[in-house]
Amino acid sequence: MPQRPASRLSTNRSSLGHKARYALRHPRRVLPYLRRAGRDTWLRLRHRDGHVAYYRAVMASDTAKSPEAAVGGGPSHDRWLAIGQMQFDYLREHGLRPQDRMLELGCGNLRAGWRFIDHLEPGHYYGIDISPDILIEAKKTLVRYGLQHKLPYLTPVDNLTLDFLPDAAFTVVHAHSVFSHSTLDIIDECLANVGRVLAPGGFFDFTYDRTETREHQVLGEDFYYRTQTLVRLAARHGLAARFMDDWEQLPHGQSKLRVTHAA
């Protein structure tokens, strides 16, 4: 398994020691971090009925400030475009065909989705997200790129049971920077159900924040998992997970697994 920098994979970002060292190295980021921590604490108090409700409120708050930054687009529109292009190029190089039927979990404002929609045949893209606010921005993206004729489906959801979708409907399922913001029970829910909607011979690609030390989270927003934790979880649901080595060569901080039906 190719390695990210050892310090990155062994860092426990939730520890007080790490936070203190980070604050000393980046003093200008302390105040924004404290503001975000205060905002998140307030949102958790208002939304005590589970992580999805809380994170939907986080997305609403972030989207109101910047739809592109809300999906991890970084400080510029160019970065939003670059990350979307990276996702699209990777899937196309790994066999994404116009005739594929694609389900994108956490499609956001179509950072990569508009490229998938343009590549696929009409009606072959289905995007879901827990945030109605970001899906409104997704519709604006469709209009901006003139893709209405591709008839994509965009649907808000409040879980990942996928119970409203038909069996074996999708040859490709994709989730970029979704599990990095998900508790383990939500990931388990997804893996327990994605096999039903995945067509024979299809695959499910997802990224995650990888750690090789203690699994942890920061602010209830960012979650770090060991690869073997996710591989074993997939196996429990009759799925085989493969670490995508070549993704590690790309300029992106997360790692990627490909899940298929077990032989």
Q: Domain extents for the chain?
A: 6-261
pLDDT in tens, 90-130: 999 999 999 999 999 999 999 999 999 999 999 999 999 99
Tokens 């994979």 label which residue? 9
User: Tokens in use for 98?
Assistant: 């116009």
Q: At what angle do helices 132-144 and 51-65 cross, to 10 degrees?
A: 40
pLDDT in tens, 1-31: 555 565 678 788 888 888 888 788 888 888 9
Q: 244 with 205: CB under 8 angstroms?
A: yes
pLDDT at 152 over 70: yes
User: What pLDDT, on a 0 to 100 scale, did the predictor assign at position 73?
Assistant: 59
User: Tokens in use for 56?
Assistant: 């939907």
Burial 188-199 (b: 16+ CB within 10 A, else e): bbbbbbbbebbb
CATH topology assigned to domain 6-261: Rossmann fold (3.40.50)
Q: 187 with 230: CB under 8 angstroms?
A: yes
User: What pLDDT, on a 0 to 100 scale, did the predictor assign at position 11?
Assistant: 85
What are the CB-based long-range contacts (under 8 Å, 24+) for 52-59? 52/130, 52/158, 52/159, 52/186, 53/158, 54/220, 55/130, 55/181, 55/220, 55/221, 56/130, 56/131, 56/158, 58/221, 59/130, 59/131, 59/133, 59/134
Distance of CA 211 to the CA centre of its chain: 17
Burial level of 215, CB count in 10 A (0-12/13-18/19+)?
middle
Helix residue ranges, H only, the chain: 6-10, 16-25, 30-46, 51-65, 67-70, 77-93, 113-119, 132-144, 184-197, 227-236
pLDDT in tens, 205-245: 999 999 999 999 999 999 999 999 999 999 999 999 999 99
User: What pLDDT, on a 0 to 100 scale, did the predictor assign at position 137?
Assistant: 95
Mean pLDDT of 57-63: 91
42 C-beta neighbours (distance < 10 Å), count: 12
User: Tokens in use for 220?
Assistant: 């209830």
